[in-house]
Amino acid sequence: MIQLDRRHFIASLGGAAAVKLMSSEAKAEALEAYMMAQLNTQPKKFPKAAEIEAQIETRDYRRGVGNLFLTTQPNGKVKKLEPMPPKPTFLDFFNLRMQQTSNHVLQSANRAMKTGMPEEIILACLLHDTVHALIKVDHGYWGAQLYGPYVPEKLAFAIRYHQALRFYEDKEAGYEYPDLYRNLFGEDYVPAPHIQADYKMLKNHKWYMEPRLVTVNDLYAFEPGVVVKIDPFIDIIGRHFKNPKEGLGNDGSPVAHMWRAMAMPDNPL
Ligand SMILES: [Fe+2]
Ligand SMILES: [Fe+2]
């Protein structure tokens, strides 16, 4: 809760005499603006990693589970899913199974497009978190595996390693460590050994900027109320995503079962 310093507030408006001349609406508006400005200067409070760990046993699910397999609404129930078409494409999965992340990834891809990034980066941004439908924990690695057979190697590389690079600043590239991560993992969180090792490898890798640019666009992609449509990306998907003719999940690829698991998450076995 922010403490209002009355004297400071009045002084900021030009003193008591100036305040007297203001309408009540103008005063209310000024107060709101003042409170917003204060909010931005207040020191932020983040949880410690130990506090995050202590929350585990307060939940009836684990945080790494895929979006399709639970609802986190208190007393919520999962919904019946729309059936998939017989030969589903990426767009079918995007529209029918990946709705929970679609707004976020569309905003990411939109930022990449608006800032003139290459098509492969735009598509990497569009795909980067969509595997959350299946599983969230270690999602960069799962995501790269899910898309690996259908996209260029560099694009899967960008998806795989955006997860590791999210933990490491690169101010020169325009990426600062996000408050979101301080809240999700705790302010004193130390990344897992595989993330540290991959970061060390990435620093000198010729493709470093591929996953880095995904993180750069990721940072700004949580604007509430901003809705981006898939339409501007359809051609880019068409140029870089090879949908198998049998449909994703029916193509006998090493990851076909991952697509089937998203197609039918209600199957008990
Ligand atoms: Fe991510
Ligand atoms: Fe993301």
CA of 210 from ligand 1 middle (Å) equals 14
- Cα 85 from Cα 173, distance rounded (Å): 41
**Unique residue bearing structure tokens 């979006």:** 67
Q: Please say if the pLDDT value at position 122 is more than 70.
A: yes
DSSP-derived secondary structure letter, 22? S
Contact 235, 76 (CB under 8 A): no
Ligand 1 geometric centre to CA of 162 (Å): 6
Q: Which of 41-45, 80-84, 185-189, 191-195 has the lowest mean pLDDT?
A: 41-45
Q: What is the pLDDT of residues 169-216, one digit of tens each?
A: 999 999 999 998 999 999 999 999 999 999 999 999 999 999 999 999
Taking only the tens place, the pLDDT of each residue in 260-269 is 999 999 999 9
CA atoms within 13 A on the CB side of 101: 25
**Amino acid present at 171:** K
pLDDT, residue 10, reads: 76
Task: Spell out the residues 6+ positions from residue 208 whose beta carbon is closer than 8 angstroms to its own.
Answer: 202
Average pLDDT over all residues of the chain: 91
For the CA of 166, the nearest ligand: 1
> Considering only CA atoms, which of 167, 147, 150 is closest in space to residue 159?
147
| pLDDT score for 6 | 76
Cα gap 237→242, rounded to integer Å: 8
Q: How many A from CA of 163 to the centre of ligand 1?
A: 5
Q: Burial, 1: exposed, middle or buried (Cβ in 10 Å; 0-12, 13-18, 19+)? A: exposed
Ligand nearest to the CA of 105: 2
CB proximity list for 42: less than 8 A, separation 6 or greater: 2
CA of 264 to the centre of ligand 1 (A): 24
- Taking a 5 Å cut-off on Cβ, the residues next to ion ligand 2 are 129, 218
Residues near ligand 1 ion, CB 5 Å cutoff: 129
Residue 191, classed as helix, strand or coil, is coil
pLDDT band at 1 (very low <50, low <70, confident <90, very high): very low
**DSSP one-letter code for 63:** T
Measured in Å, residue 16 CA sits from the centre of ligand 2 at: 48
Please compute the mean of the pLDDT values over residues 49-73 and round it to a whole number. 95
With 70 as the cut, is the pLDDT of residue 36 above it? no
Q: Which residues pair with 213 in a beta bridge?
A: none
How many helices, marked H, and strands, marked E, lie in the chain? 14, 0
Asked whether the beta carbons of 138 and 192 are under 8 A apart, the reply is: no
Shortest-distance ligand to the CA of residue 217: 2
Ligand nearest to the CA of residue 162, numbered in listed order: 1
Q: What percentage of the chain reaches a pLDDT higher than 70?
A: 91
> Is pLDDT larger for residue 266 or for residue 7?
266
- With 80 as the cut, is the pLDDT of residue 35 above it? no
Give domain limits for the chain. Answer: 6-41, 90-263
Sign of CA dihedral 119, 121, 122, 123: positive
Q: How far apart are alpha carbons 244 and 253 in whole angstroms?
A: 9
Nearest to 143 by CA among 65, 220, 255, 240: 255
Q: How far is the CA of 238 from the centre of ligand 1 (A)?
A: 23
What's the 3 CA to ligand 2 centre distance in angstroms? 34
SS3 of the chain: helix, strand, coil, percent, to 5: 55, 0, 45
For ligand 1, the distance from its centroid to the CA atom of residue 118, given in whole angstroms, is 19
CA of 215 to the centre of ligand 1 (A): 8
Q: Any idea which of 123-137, 152-166, 174-188 has the lowest mean pLDDT?
A: 174-188
Q: 34 falls in which pLDDT band (50, 70, 90)?
A: low
Architecture of the domain delimited by 90-263: Orthogonal Bundle (1.10)
